[in-house]
Amino acid sequence: MQRAEIEQLIPHRDPFLWIDEVTSLDDTKIIARKHIPEDLDIFRGHYPHFPILPGVIQLEAAFQAGAILIARTQTVADGQVPVVTRVNNTKFRNAVRPGDTLEIEVELTETLSNAFFLTGKVSVDGKTTVRLEFACAAASTQNL
């Protein structure tokens, strides 16, 4: 799945779209990628002499992958989008540097009514950079 289809499924756009492509998708799991440009503006201020991608951006990439998974596999009412409601057991392991490519894996582990429970892992070159558990709930776009 390429960017045009991704943009049909979630409302995120540049400069805050953290998924470039989806390489695998089934009923419970998505694998996506995001190339981190060397000239990404965030690096000007996030450790300018040793630039690293902020952990919160890695989490956001996992959240967006989860939203794509939910949009493709679950029933969400018109006018609603999945919104993160909880993050648990987050563990940062390795830094992400300019020029790296994130591999983002998210698995849907449970669905209860309009709540979705997921696990995620982000890695670079096979090395885990972050693991997390998170929950989303379908929320009206009018309340956002």
To the nearest whole number, what is the mean pLDDT of the chain? Answer: 95
Cα(42)–Cα(105) distance, integer angstroms = 23
**Residue 143 binned pLDDT confidence (cut-offs 50, 70, 90):** low
Give me the active site residues, please: 46
pLDDT at position 64, please? 98
- pTM, whole model, 2 decimals? 0.95
Rounded-to-5 percentages of helix, strand, coil across the chain: 25, 40, 35
CATH of 3-143, one of 3.40.50.300, 2.10.109.10, 3.10.129.10, 3.40.980.10: 3.10.129.10
User: What does the longest C-alpha to C-alpha distance in the chain come to?
Assistant: 47
Strand partners, 107: 29, 119
Cα(62)–Cα(104) distance, integer angstroms = 6
Each residue's pLDDT tens digit, 59-79:
999 999 999 999 999 988 888
Cα(119)–Cα(106) distance, integer angstroms = 6
Mean pLDDT of 34-62: 97
pLDDT at position 3, please? 96
pLDDT at position 77, please? 84
**Residue 144 binned pLDDT confidence (cut-offs 50, 70, 90):** low
**Residue 46 binned pLDDT confidence (cut-offs 50, 70, 90):** very high
Res. 81: pLDDT tops 90: no
With tokens 């490519």, the residue in question is 101
